[in-house]
Amino acid sequence: MAAEKKIKSRDLQYCKLVIDTGRTMAARSLTVATWGNISARDPKTGNIYVTPSGMDYKKAKPEDVVVFNSKGIRIQGMRKPTIEKDLHIELYQARDDIHAIIHTHGLYTIAVGVAGLGLPAVTEEFAQVFGTEVPLCKYAIPGTPDLAKNVVEGFGKDRYGVLMPSHGAVTAAADMNMALKQCDVLERAAEIFILAKQLGGEIRYIPKEDVDHMFRFHHNQYVQ
């Protein structure tokens, strides 16, 4: 409790959000052990809150979160940050519309990336949330500047998810609720895509015109 009191209340709110999301991600089997990482950005201050490296999600506390300012300089937290901190910081710097990022190691999303594929819009929920595709970015070793660069490139100006070859996925959104929803939709779409391919029929890809309509509707109607 004493450690919590040292954190300002606005910071504490974001630290808790990051830790709670880690617990939810682990509980939903969107990762294994301590893999994956999460961050949030406070739109008011620009401060970025990232998960610590190698922490058990069940045991992590708000004071374990590491805080960076908008320029990527550490301003709070004693722990070593996730090795993917540059990926998080650089994606926020590239996109003003993103304030929550979740990196998962989900079974089915990894399988799609291992097959060398991105995910196309095969379900309506996917089309609403992600639009036409979640692309597969170029491969780079975890925690390297190249991986950060490849993921940011994959997001471009208008993507909300990217698959990383042999590794996992990154989803990003305007807030943490949406980012978590995206993780679930992405993992489900990957599972559905794999199951549908096994049936052997012709996969129905949703036409771009319909995808664009659903995407616009979702982002205008539901996103605050």
Of residues 9 through 38, those in contact with Zn ion by CB under 5 A are: none
| Active-site residue (options: 63, 84, 133, 187) | 84
Residues 141-200 binding Zn ion (CB under 5 A) are 168
**Cβ of residue 189: shortest distance to Zn ion, in angstroms?**
19
Active site residue 63: no
CA dist., res. 219 & res. 50, Å (int): 26
Give the count of beta carbons closer than 10 Å to the beta carbon of residue 48.
Answer: 29
Residue number with CB closer to Zn ion (131 or 168): 168
Do residues 103 and 37 lie in contact, with contact meaning Cβ atoms separated by under 8 Å?
yes
CA distance 96 to 28: 29
Tell me how far, at minimum, the Cβ of 196 lies from Zn ion, in Å: 27
* Phi, psi (degrees; rounded to nearest 5) at 37: -160, 165
Q: Which is nearer to Zn ion, 165 or 168 (CB)?
A: 168
Size of the site for Zn ion (CB under 5 A): 1
Nearest by Cα to 99 from 162, 10, 178: 178
The least distance separating Zn ion from the CB of residue 143, rounded to whole angstroms, comes to 8
Q: Are 194 and 186 in contact (CB under 8 A)?
A: no
**Identity of the residue, 140 or 196, whose beta carbon is nearer to Zn ion in the bound complex:** 140
Give whole-number Cα distances, 142 to 113, 145, 223, in Å: 15, 9, 32
Compute the least distance from the CB of residue 84 to Zn ion, in Å.
6
In the complex, which residues of this chain contact Zn ion (CB under 5 A)? 168
Q: Which residues are the active-site residues?
A: 84
